[in-house]
Structure 1
């Protein structure tokens, strides 16, 4: 069973990931519109969307979302360590 520190970490990391995902999606969509001059594909799997556009959107969105999640998790870990004096147990570094 998880101790309170683990629950606190899960809540903090989950909230950070959720917020960063929302912000990243908005930023990536905005950048796509500015770069290409059109809306991103709403359904890249559709045969009506050009393959290059679908692949481009998938790569940009995948990389962008993962980078945002990584940065948010690292920031949450720093905040957790600052308030608890150690990194979360999920990092496997021990006390």
Structure 2
């Protein structure tokens, strides 16, 4: 079995970052679904590309979910990075590449 050259902290960060981002995206999606239903009185489109979905609705849903999920994932990963720094005393290896 070949040994990996990646440090152990790199693997821990990768898993931690992935789990926090997926969890945040899942929560954001549920909140968006409820918010859409409350504001429009309809369920969000299951597939915005479906021709039966009105264009305005497809565009609004795609823009809302895309921007919101990306923003929440980024914020979750930043919090995860802060926790990692507090736990280890340094940035995760993937973030340390920025040199900042």
* Equivalent in the alignment of 1:20: 24
The normalised TM-score by structure 1 is 0.94
* Equivalent in the alignment of 2:71: 67
In the TM superposition, what is the alpha-carbon distance from 1:43 to its structure 2 partner? 1.2
CA offsets per residue over residues 2-46 of structure 1, 9 Å max, x none?
110100100110110111111011011111111111100011101
* Equivalent in the alignment of 1:47: 51
Distance 1:45 1:79 in 2: 39
Q: Which runs of 5+ in 2 are unaligned?
A: none
Q: Which runs of 5+ in 1 are unaligned?
A: none
* Equivalent in the alignment of 1:84: 88
Distance 2:6 2:25 in 1: 26
Over aligned residues, Cα RMSD in angstroms? Answer: 1.0
The normalised TM-score by structure 2 is 0.90
Number of aligned residue pairs: 94
